[in-house]
Each structure stands twice: as structure tokens, then as C-alpha cells.
Structure 1
Amino acid sequence: SVGSEYGLGSGSGGGPLEIVDLDKNGTMDLLLGGPAGLRWFKNTRGSFAPGGVLAADGSGDFIVTDIDNDGFLDIVFSTGESVSVLHNRGAGEWERSDELFASAAPGSGPLAAWDADADGDLDVALRGADGAIAVWINEGGNANRSITITAQGIGDNKFGIGAKVEILAGALRQKFEWTRPVPLVVGLGGRETVQSVRFLWPSGVLQDEVNLPSAETAAIVQLDRKGTSCPLLYAWRDGGWRFVTDFLGGAAIGYQQAPGVFSTPDTDEYVLIEGGLSEQDGWLRLRLNNQLEEVIWFDQAELVI
């Protein structure tokens, strides 16, 4: 099976699934619920390794949320009868609390987390066994700082769903995938400033917003820029690097013209270097590069004089 091939085992039975960076290493892990309990599979860049059973009785629904704004993602989960919390203490350490939702109706399960009262911490909606929804307001989670982020797509969907978001605030690093049309609330602990919020929009546009204060809403509007481009050619002339042109625009591999029909790459091009080249230490220098998140390779380049 595909699961066995990538280190997930071949167990039977289905259950809830979350894709989340639990260990803050910049790769998305898998969190699975079901009859075998609440299981964590760590992303090892190409496959998954067992991170352990976090709750043997975690057979029901769960959500991942930083319930105390300390910068570590916690887990609210259902045992089928009650609702409990696993507090992430970092370095693979978890602390269980059964008291926060002790008065929840039997058979309740977590449904979603969002800042319902706009006070800077995440509240939780529980779904009862009868289908009724109850919102539990987080009292005290905002003792730590947080930043609220909204996304507005321009070249992508309006809510930015599908974007990859990376947060850098001092030693805190956290990666998210934007999956719902609601603001993202990120716990910062005691940190006052977020040095960088990096968006990789679904279309491939990379965008950084820097030096954002905590306790405020950062409204991120997608920049109107291309996510792909041609290779760029620079030449050394008159004591510095000079832009010459882009080139090989017809050499892209995998460009789809119609369903099941791909273009034939045009893989060679002659470029005139207007203005010529200047010698530097006995060399004529050219640079061929790309400034976006693409893979570019050349198997031959020749200077014709």
C-alpha cells in the first residue's frame, strides 16, 4: 500500500487526519486518530517515521491549536466519551489535561478553533453527540502574546486557501498550511515582534512581510507578481553586473497546452550581448540564474565571439 511505502504502516480502519508541523522543523507531519489511538508520524523528508502514540484513547475527533499562546501547537481530542488536551511542552514532551473540558456533554468532540471573541487567543467549538454546537471561550490564553494574520488572494483564491505560511519570531519558527477562510492566530509566548511572515501562495508567488508587531492584525494582501519566469542573463561590464535579458522562455518542461497535451520545449537560443563585456582579472564573466522558486538547469552554454 501507499502507506506502507512511506512509513505509515498498513493498519486497518479510518479516522481523522491533520497535516501539521508539530516539531517545528519546517516539514508537515501527519497526526492520525482512530482505533489505534492518536498517532504522530514525523516527516523525514521523503517518508514518515513513527513519533509515538500521543493518546491511546484518542480514537475520536481532534483539532490542533495553540491553546495557551506559548508558541507550541497543542491538541484537543475526544476519547469518545470526554474531551482532553495535550499541551505541547516542546522537545517531544506532552502534558495531558482532562480538566479544561471536564463539563462538556458526554460524547462531545472538537470541531474547530478560532478567535470567536477577538481577544487574541483561540476558542474551541465542540460538537455534541446530538449534533449541537457549543463554543468554549478561552479565558487566559492571551496571557501570552499572539499575532492574528488575515490573507487576501489576488491572483489566487480570495482567502488564500492552500498557501504555505512560515512564522519567524526570535527562536520561534512555525509552519502552517492555510486551510480555512478564517484568520490565523499564532501564539508567540512573550515575543513582541514577528521578524518575518513568509507566504508561498498556491500560484507559486513568494512574499515576505517583516517586523510585524504582536497583538495586532497583519492583513496580508497578495502581491501582484509572477510566480514563474525565464532564466536571466547578467554580464560583467564597466565594473559591475549588468542585466542583459531573460531567455529560453520556450524551454519550460511540463507546460500543459490542453488536457493531456504538453508543449515541446525549444531548448536553444542565441542571445546578443549588446554593449559587450568588460574583462575582469583576465576573465569575461556571465551569470545565468533565476530569482524565483524554480529549478533551472543548463547542459551547455557557449560564448560566441
Structure 2
Amino acid sequence: MTYQHYDLKITIVGGGIVGSSIYRMLKKNGIEVQLIDPKIKKPFPTLIHSLLLKGKDIELAKLSLNFYKKFNIPYYPFKSYTLGKISSSIIDSWISAGVNISIKFVNWINDEAIEAVGGDGLVSIRSLISYIENIPYNSYIFVKQNKGFIKLNDKLYESDFIILSAGAWSKYLINLKLPVKTYFCWASLFLSRKKEVGSNIIYDYINNFYSRPVIGLGLPFAIMGDGKAIETTPFQQNICIEDKNEVSSRISRRLGEVKELYTSGNFCEATPDMRPAYGKVAENVYYIGGFNGYGAEVGPGLASVLVEEILSKKEDTYFKEYRLERFNDHNDDFEIGQEPHEL
């Protein structure tokens, strides 16, 4: 649906996956929109997109996939193998989403696994974000008497709507308290003796790790991690990864000897239930975030829900379980859980 709201001016603070997605959708609807990215980070070139989630996360992932197709964001499909006990109801939901599922013994994994075709792939996050001309202002959202302003270089600027989508930096860019914590999540580039790791995605819920191809050319290189969060601020340097060797050991149990080549990570944002959230925090200010490491799967999907709500002036009811109000009785004193890779 196309909306004719040319009189609207919307400012987005944060130009990552979600902010860039919102920017594209608003521009396509003829909205005057400005993107301010005060903390430009180097994104991973590609990230996993998966339909092998649960509940309405699957619906958001489908919306995200539609977004990638609509805006010609490169997507590279891969087979995936899931190991561990998965309930039949979750498997049925994957099948209902159009994923071709079969259970078989996989020789190179040396175990029975759920093979999924049409459910997983890598999406070019670099292509999504590089489209945007980020503006590195020293910006801040200042809320006074329930109205938000953009504060740039000690001057206040008005906007019809302000959308805060700066990920791990969001809680530091507004003078309101958000029910989120920030953390560092890492993954390593590994060399394996099994070339299959370079052309398949693995979700191992027995040894608790995930593996994904680097570029998908069938070479024995893969990016692997366990989704474990290290609570910290996004301003901390030299993060200590204490369990890196232990994770390598768990990966080796499944895939044989692997060699770590490089380790990197990003700062992310967690909610108390490790699921994303969006909603109004002031009369003209929306927050969207808490994607807990799976923003590539559900981020553009939830962004489309927010855009629809703003333009239609109607609150969404179908995805109400993601609304920020569910944390009204929470504060930021909670323990960060495991990232949902993918369940």
C-alpha cells in the first residue's frame, strides 16, 4: 500500500539493518526522511536469514525476506542441518512456512539431522546499509514534556516523528530509560577438514554452536560461534572472550579438528525476554530494537510493521506481542540470555 503523506518529516537515529530498512520504506512512500547515524559501525558483509524460528518470529522473518526481494538486496540460499531435539510443532511451523524438511543421517556430520531446503540463506547486509549516506552527527534525542527533539551540536531541531534504531547505542542516545542491556557477541572464522562446512549452515543444539559459510564457494571455511553474550557497553575496548577455546572444543566434537583463523564481533542490544521490541516512548518518538543478534532475520519485518503503523495511524494488533509496553514493569536489572541462533 502506498501512502500520500508528503507533509511528514521523519528523522531516523541509527543506520544499521533496521534503520536502513525503515529509511528505504519511507522514501518509497514519498516521505521526507533524514537518517542520522552517530555511531557508524562496520557491519558483517553477510548475515544469516532463517525461517527456522518459532512463533510469530517466523512471520517477521517472512516479511524480512519479502523486503530483501522488493529492494533487491542480494540473498544466497543454503541448505541447513539442525541437530538436537526439536518439537514436532516447531517442525510443522517450518513446513507451513514453505520449508522443505527431511530427517536423515548425514555422513559428514556423523549424526541424524533435520535437513532444511528453502529456509536459510545469507543476506548481503553490506548492500543494505551501503545504500544509505550516513550522517555522523554528534546527535541525541532530547525528550521534554513528552515531546522529542533532535539535539545536534547543542541546538534542538523538530521532526514530526523520530525513530530511534541505533542498536547497542540507543540507550545512550536518549534522556529516557529503556528496558535493554548492551553486550558483545563474537564469532570466529574457522578452517575445517570438512569442505561441506563451506556450503551448508549448521545449527547444533547438542554441542551448542552454529556454523555458516563465508562466501559459499564450497571451500572449507566457515564462521562459527555459540551466540553467548558478554555484557558490556559499546564503548569498551579489548573485550576478553574467556570461553573461546571451550567453544572451539565443542565445535571439534562435531566436525573434527578445526583451526581458528580470525575472531570478530559486534555490540548488540538485549531485552529481558531476548526478543525484539518497538513502540512509542514519547508523543512523537518511536523506539525499535533489542534484536538480540538476529536482526537480519526479523529486523526488516518488524521495521515494516512500525512503518505501517506510523503511516496508517493505526496500532498493529497482530504483532502486539513485540510492543515495548510489555516491559512496563521491568527495569534494566536483568540477566542477558542466550542469543536465539535460531531457537
- TM-score after normalising by structure 1: 0.26
Looking at secondary structure, tell me which structure has more strand per residue. Answer: 1
State which structure, 1 or 2, has the greater radius of gyration over its C-alpha atoms. 1
- TM-score after normalising by structure 2: 0.24
